[in-house]
Amino acid sequence: MTSMTIGRLAAAAEVGVETVRYYQRRGLLAVPEPARGQVRHYGDTALSRLRFIRRAQQLGFSLDEIAELLDLDENTDRQAARALARDKLAQIDERMARLAAMRTALTELVSCCEHTTSAQPCPILHTLAHPDEDVPALLEVDRRR
């Protein structure tokens, strides 16, 4: 078993020392008892746990969700893990749909802005200032330019 100080643990997991401390305050990572000379030492288990947390974050799990995942046993809690992952997938799909709608709206605004005369208000700025109005319908698009 490897014995590491908090600095070495953080470096090995590619996180900051304050991140390790934050995870400890959140209950995601145990705080070892101080050993020789009041220095806390961490082992391979702590490093594995930190890496688990980082990988879960990269998949979009929140720290609360990660806490739930950490409480599961990989040999017996397959259904619970699958349910959490399905919920995360549904959240990702919903976020992607919202992003696609945002992309469509911005694409339309950029196109509208490119094809309106300079005497008309900028559709992008106008939409931000007047969100209740339908800008493409308000502005007559001059496609001859």
CATH of the domain at 56: 1.10.1660.10
Number of folded domains in the chain? 1
What is the reported pLDDT for 134? 63
In a domain, 1, yes or no: yes
- The tens place of each residue's pLDDT in the chain, 145 residues long, gives 678 999 999 999 999 999 999 999 999 999 998 877 788 899 999 999 999 999 999 999 999 999 999 999 989 999 999 999 999 999 999 999 999 998 998 998 899 888 887 788 888 898 889 877 765 544 444 433 3
In a domain, 138, yes or no: no
Residue 100's identity, in one-letter code, is A
In a domain, 79, yes or no: no
What are the φ/ψ torsions at residue 35 (nearest 5 degrees)? Answer: -115, -160
In a domain, 130, yes or no: no
What is the reported pLDDT for 60? 95
Residue 86's identity, in one-letter code, is R
**39 forms bridges with which residues in the sheet?**
35
Q: Which residue has the tokens 């976020």?
A: 95
Structural domain boundaries, residue 40: 1-61
In a domain, 36, yes or no: yes
Provide the 10 A C-beta neighbour count for residue 1.
Answer: 6
In a domain, 93, yes or no: no
In a domain, 114, yes or no: no
**Alpha carbon distance 28, 26 (integer Å):** 6
